[in-house]
């Protein structure tokens, strides 16, 4: 299994390990490489797929046949244009968040709202994009109930009209609603996906590898201590046998020399007796 993991992790020639500590470290390393490659592949595939997906909704003409969400007040206008519309409440920011959740989950395929809201959502959340051009004029207006007098209201209207003609309102729209810098950030993110896996993202894997290294070191220390203990035991077990062998050799040598001496001494005495007898016998023979 260890060699299979290392092979799958693109290690062409897995190292051979016979000891248990080395096998533990190599097994954990192979598992770590497998998980990192899987994470990198999955993340890269997801980003490339998201970057290559082109929405099939590019404007109002693509809305027929799709499930489209909109504010309840816009339903009759869109229904008359042959668009399958789902009316949604829009009284506060919570209702707006629920509409976006439906679009994000795929429950609805598009969301039709007023231009300023659509541009603001697209600029603040890179998950959404504004497509097409405004296709209808909403017959409603927004105002501030300041209770101003008639001359002041007219002057204020003139100022707003001049600001629109001079392009000031467009600049304010771009700066505060479109958020051009944030829109550029979303485009940069889509064009340059971040495929880097950082250390903190796989910290658990490195902790696992560190634990395996510590466990391998501990097993190596235990193995070394056991080897030394067995070696010392063998040496100690051989010491009494060696002492008995040396003692027996000394004792046998001493006993053999004493026997030789006794034999030599007895031989000397017997030899003298034999010589005397011979001499006596010869003399007797001579006499005979």
pLDDT, mean of residues 255-279: 43
Say whether pLDDT at 190 is over 50.
Answer: no
Q: Rounded to an integer, what distance in angstroms lies between the CA atom of residue 115 and that of residue 130?
A: 9
- Give the domain extent around 168: 67-191
- Main-chain phi, psi angles of 257, to 5 degrees: -70, -35
Q: Rounded to an integer, what distance in angstroms lies between the CA atom of residue 164 and that of residue 52?
A: 39
* Per-residue pLDDT at 215: 80
Q: Rounded to an integer, what distance in angstroms lies between the CA atom of residue 37 and that of residue 90?
A: 45
* Per-residue pLDDT at 88: 92
Residue 109 resides in a domain: yes
pLDDT, mean of residues 192-215: 68
Residue 137 resides in a domain: yes
Number of domains in the chain: 1
Residue 174 resides in a domain: yes
Residue 120 resides in a domain: yes
* Per-residue pLDDT at 179: 57
Over the chain, what HEC string results? Answer: CHHHHHHHCCCCCCCCCCCHHHHHHHHHHHHHHHHHHHHHHHHHHHHHHHHHCCCCCCCHHHCCCCCEEEEHHHHHHHHCCCCCEEEECCCCHHHHHHHHHHHHHCCCCEEECCHHHHHHHHHHCCCCCCCCCCCCCCCCCCCCCCCCCHHHHHHHHHHHHHHHHCCHHHHHHHHHHHCHHHHHHHHHHHHCCCCCCCHHHHHHHHHHHHHHHHHHHHHHHHHHHHHHHHHHHHHHHHHHHHHHHHHHHHHHHHHHHHHHHHHHHHHHHHHHHHHHHHHHHHHHHHHC
pLDDT band at 197 (very low <50, low <70, confident <90, very high): low
- Say which residues have a Cβ less than 8 Å from residue 85's Cβ, sequence separation at least 6: 68, 69, 70, 74, 75, 78, 79, 112
Least confident of 136-150, 213-227, 257-271: 257-271
Give pLDDT tens digits for 147-178. 767 787 788 888 888 888 888 878 877 777 66
Q: Give percent of the chain with pLDDT exceeding 70.
A: 56
pLDDT band at 181 (very low <50, low <70, confident <90, very high): very low
Least confident of 16-20, 138-142, 214-218: 138-142
Residue 187 resides in a domain: yes
pLDDT band at 15 (very low <50, low <70, confident <90, very high): low
Name the average pLDDT for the chain: 69
Residue 90 resides in a domain: yes
Give pLDDT tens digits for 39-98. 777 777 766 665 555 567 888 888 888 889 998 888 888 888 888 888 999 888 899 999
pLDDT, mean of residues 129-138: 78
Residue 206 resides in a domain: no
Residue 60 resides in a domain: no
* Per-residue pLDDT at 274: 39
- Look up the pTM and report it: 0.41
Q: Which has more confidence, 275 or 160?
A: 160
């Amino acid at each position: 299994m260890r060699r299979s993991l290392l092979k799958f992790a693109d290690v062409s020639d897995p190292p051979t390990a016979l000891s248990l500590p080395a096998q533990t470290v190599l097994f954990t390393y192979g598992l770590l490489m497998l998980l990192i490659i899987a994470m990198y592949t999955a993340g890269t595939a997801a980003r490339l797929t998201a970057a290559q997906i082109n929405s099939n909704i590019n404007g109002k003409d693509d809305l027929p046949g799709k499930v489209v969400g909109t504010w309840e007040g816009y339903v009759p206008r869109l229904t008359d244009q042959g668009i399958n519309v789902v009316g949604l409440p829009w009284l506060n920011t919570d209702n707006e968040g629920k509409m976006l959740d439906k679009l994000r989950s795929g429950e609805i395929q598009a969301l039709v709202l007023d231009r300023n809201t659509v541009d603001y959502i697209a600029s603040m959340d890179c998950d959404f994009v504004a497509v097409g051009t405004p296709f209808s004029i909403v017959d409603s207006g927004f105002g501030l109930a300041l209770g101003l007098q008639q001359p002041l209201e007219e002057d204020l209207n003139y100022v707003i009209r001049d600001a629109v003609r001079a392009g000031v309102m467009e600049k304010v729209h771009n700066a505060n609603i479109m958020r051009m810098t944030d829109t550029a950030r979303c485009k940069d993110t889509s064009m340059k996906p971040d495929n880097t896996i950082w250390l903190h993202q796989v910290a658990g894997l490195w902790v696992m590898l560190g634990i395996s290294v510590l466990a391998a070191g501990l097993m190596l220390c235990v193995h070394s201590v056991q080897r030394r203990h067995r070696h010392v035991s063998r040496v100690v077990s051989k010491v009494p046998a060696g002492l008995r062998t040396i003692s027996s050799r000394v004792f046998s040598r001493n006993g053999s020399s004493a026997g030789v001496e006794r034999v030599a001494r007895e031989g000397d005495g017997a030899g003298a007796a034999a010589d005397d007898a011979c001499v006596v016998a010869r003399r007797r023979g001579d006499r005979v």
